[in-house]
Each structure stands twice: as structure tokens, then as C-alpha cells.
Amino acid sequence: MKMGVLALQGDFAEHVRILEQIGVTAVEVRLPLDLADIDGLIIPGGESTTIGKLAVRFGLMKPIRQLASTKPVWGTCAGAIFLARDARHSQPMLGLMDIAIKRNAFGRQAESFETDIEVPEIFTAEDSRSVHAVFIRAPLIESVGADVKVLARLSDGRIVAARQHNLLATAFHPELTGDDRFHRYFLTLGR
């Protein structure tokens, strides 16, 4: 299996490291030709406006949309914003996932936090159903379309992870915790 990680800006190296630790070949994607022969794509956290502008500059918007029509794509934090249909902000977005997302929903860098969240849909009974989630200037999924399944919420009910068919969005950073279960789950989306 060969997974791409969009490597224009942000924490792509952490996703590459986890993929390699679980035996997956990771390809850093910077140009359309890097999308050839990959089995899916992770769009990492970083700064969503910058990621979008660079994706436009390097001609990646259409090729990523084409890839997402048949293969899994996962956006973490800024990557989730880039995947969304609406972010209440004028910026380049893929518009692939039927979610409305609020950028920096929890405030500035100083308001970043960590918490455990329950993710019953993707973990087995033998496995812990909670995940330690790292939120850094994180977005929040404000609403989801009828075709979108909510995977995780904060204790107050706010949505922080969702799936729409082969598309996955997390408002937090699984790649920063050492827990590879979300990456392993993502690998199953293409099967």
C-alpha cells in the first residue's frame, strides 16, 4: 500500500512517520505527478489558507478532486477545513466533504488543548474506545450533511470527527499522539 501525504505546508512529516511505522509506503505530494499510483491522500494540519493557495499554485486542486472520487482522502485540522464545502471564509477549498467548519473555533494558540474523546464507531470492544486528541488552533465541524456520519464529539456534543464515504475529517491531530489507530482506520476506507 502506498499513501500520499500533501507536503506543501504543515505537519506532513508526522503523518509520513506514522505511516512508515505501520508498514505503509508514504509519498510526499507536492505536484500532480506525485498523486500517481497512490492509494489515498492525507491532508495535514498547518494553515488552511496557505495550503489552499499552494495547492492552486502547483495545480493540485483538480487532481486531488479526481483522486477523491475513487480513493480515500483524510484531512486533519487545516486539512479538514480544506476538504469542507464551507468554512465561512474566502479561501481556496476542495469543497469535497458536506461539512461546514469553523476555523480557529477554540481561539488562539494559547487556547489549544488536549482531551480524550470517545470514538465508538471505529474501535473494537477489545480496544479502548477513547482517543487522546490534540487541538491546536483547531476548527470545529459545525454541521454535517445527510450523507455524513459523525464519528466523534467533545463531551459538550460539538463535532470533531466525521466521515463521508471515503472522506475523513478530524479537527484534531492524531499524528501528534503516537496513537496510530486513526491512521489504521483511514487505511480501511479504500477497501
Strands 113-118 and 130-135: antiparallel
- Please spell the DSSP secondary structure of 142-183, one letter per residue: EEE-TT-EEEEE-TTS-EEEEEETTEEEESS-GGGSS--HHH
| Helical (H) or strand (E) element with 3 | strand 2-6
Degrees (nearest 5) of the Cα angle 40, 66, 61?
95
Catalogue the active-site residues: 77, 173, 175
